[in-house]
Amino acid sequence: MAKKDFDAVVVGAGPNGLAAAIRLQQAGLGVLLLEAKETIGGGSRSAELTLPGFVHDVCSAVHPMALASPYFQTLPLAEYGLEFIQPPLPAAHPFDKGTAAFLSASLNDTAEQFGADAAVYHRVFDPLLRDWPGIVPNILGPLRLPKHPVALARFGLDALQPATVLAKRFQTPKLRGLWAGMAAHAIQPLTKPFTSAIALVLMAVGHRHGWPIPRGGSQAIAQALGAYFRSLGGQIQTDRPVRSLRELPSARAVLLDVTPRQLLQIAGSQLSSLYRWQLARYKYGMGVFKIDWALDGPIPWAAAACRQAGTVHLGNTLEEIAASEHQISQGRHPERPYVLLAQQSLFDATRAPAGKHTAWAYCHVPNGSRVDMTGIIERQVERFAPGFRDLILARHTFDTASMEAHNPNYIGGDISGGMNNPGQLFTRPVLRLSPYRTSSQGLYLCSSSTPPGGGVHGMCGYQAAEQALKDVF
């Protein structure tokens, strides 16, 4: 066999591509990591989008899954400049009358605010937190035989339910609203199966690990991963878009941090007709419309809990959130959408000039939407924080096309690498013994279009690298 230029080439330097490259380099291989943009990071980039001195996270902002990731936990990223900040409260959820529910790191403090629902909150989360270390490899991985089947089944019985069904256990509007805001991270109508899984995982991780923000911006995660990779001897080349496998140096394995649409474009001729047919049927989900603000002061929330939270979910009641997410799934744009907002500068002074602040928010929209949601989102913030609009110094917006231009993996503004429906939750992108293998020998998929899906956790890349090590090396 002719000598290869590299043992492995990884295309795409988002968190998953970086994780894959690091795992292969840790195994003693020679790895080249290629990134189309000027900087590494994928969904973990930061930039001065509005005014000089105001640092905004371009996509991901708050990172519960980074600390929960079994693989990232093994990496010495603090030695390479990564520092996480824990806000006093991971998340808050305001209501119209100036009150709010909140997620605290303390399970007891969280439960006690719900009064009549405190006992049921404990019944849901006590066993999940107890079982978490044993079941997290299955939650953050592909379908496989569990080491703790009873614990996983206990989680699964709750997780497979639509969020609206599990919410019937809750009596108080406070807990129902907080639950809906968590479940809406699924970017699916709350009546769909498995939407409870997203809420359960995010709340359990909040209790175990918090919802931290990286000091200096989400780019710090990518920079630490990249620095560690280079310290192992890995090579990174930026400004290297890849349109075809023929453009790559020769290697024994190629791992692509792309979604099925780009995989077909880059490697279609190398794939079997059946696999191409399966990829072509892959479904993308709702898009997002995102705003970053430079502010003259902190957001004046009516509810005190919101001033202590890194993340604030805007949507009022479960019924209102469920209705808005359903409208979006039908191709409509609600007047009162669910809005996910982060206020990093409250806890990280590096994000804005002294006395000034930043805020980051998005709402869901139909895939490919070009509707400007700026006014609608700002009215939702003003609804729970009167006087907010008076603080706006500048804003920057991304519609779905802008999101995709920034990161080609965000097809139609879908930031999750594909729809989180039951058919694509654990078997994405297609049903195969290994979701990371393609039909072409030595070619692997390592993006959020593989299990466990979206989020800055690196587990898609890690699992794909493990598969390549097993198959090729």
Place of tokens 């995982």: 201
Q: What are phi and psi of 184, to 5 degrees?
A: -65, -15
Q: What integer pLDDT is reported at residue 421 of this predicted model?
A: 86
Instruction: Read off the pLDDT of residues 167-206 as tens digits, 9 standing for 90 and up.
Output: 999 999 999 999 999 999 999 999 999 999 999 999 999 9
- Distance, in Å, from the CA atom of 139 to the CA atom of 205, rounded to the nearest integer, reads 12
Q: What integer pLDDT is reported at residue 88 of this predicted model?
A: 98
Q: Which residues of the chain are under the pLDDT cut of 70?
A: 1-3
- The contacts found for 109-112 with CB under 8 angstroms, 24 or more apart, are 110/207
Q: What integer pLDDT is reported at residue 26 of this predicted model?
A: 98
Residue ranges and CATH numbers for the domains of the chain are 6-44+64-83+214-282+415-471 (3.50.50.60), 84-213+286-406 (3.90.660)
> Partners of 395 in the beta sheet?
293
Print burial letters for 204-231: b (CB count within 10 Å at least 16), e (below 16).
bbbbbbbbbbbbbbbbbbbbbbbebbee
- Distance, in Å, from the CA atom of 403 to the CA atom of 393, rounded to the nearest integer, reads 23
What does the radius of gyration of the chain's CA atoms come to, in whole angstroms?
21
Q: Which two tokens stand for residue 451?
A: 């299990």
> Looking at 264-370, which runs of residues are DSSP E strands?
287-295, 309-314, 339-342, 357-365
Q: What integer pLDDT is reported at residue 2 of this predicted model?
A: 60
**DSSP-derived 3-state class of residue 100:** strand
Instruction: Read off the pLDDT of residues 114-130 as tens digits, 9 standing for 90 and up.
Output: 999 999 999 999 999 99
Q: What integer pLDDT is reported at residue 1 of this predicted model?
A: 45
